[in-house]
Amino acid sequence: SLEVDFVLETVNTMIEKHGVALTTETIIHSDQGCHYTSCSFIQLVKDKGLRQSMSRRGNCWDNAPQESFFGRMKDHIKSKLKNCTTFEEVKAIIDDWMDYYNNDRYQWRLAKLSPNEYYEYITSGVYPLKDVIPSKRY
**DSSP letter string, the chain:** -HHHHHHHHHHHHHHHHHGGG--TT-EEEE---TTTSSHHHHHHHHHTT-EEEEPPTT-GGGGHHHHHHHHHHHHHHHHHHTT--SHHHHHHHHHHHHHHHHHT--BGGGTTB-HHHHHHHHHH---TTTTTSPPP--
Q: What is the per-residue pLDDT across 49-91, written as a single tens digit (0 to 9) for each?
A: 888 998 888 777 888 888 888 999 999 999 999 999 999 999 9
99-136 core/surface letters (b: 16 or more CB in 10 A; e: else): eebeeeeeeeebeebbeebbeebeeeeebeeeeeeeee
Domain positions in the chain are 2-54, 64-124
Prediction pTM value:
0.62
Average pLDDT over residues 17-31: 78
pLDDT of residue 134: 47
Q: Does residue 100 have a pLDDT over 90?
A: yes
Share of the chain above pLDDT 90, in %: 50
Task: Give pLDDT, residue 79.
Answer: 95
- Residue 57 CA to residue 53 CA, distance in Å, equals 12
**How far, in Å, CA of 28 to CA of 2, rounded?**
20
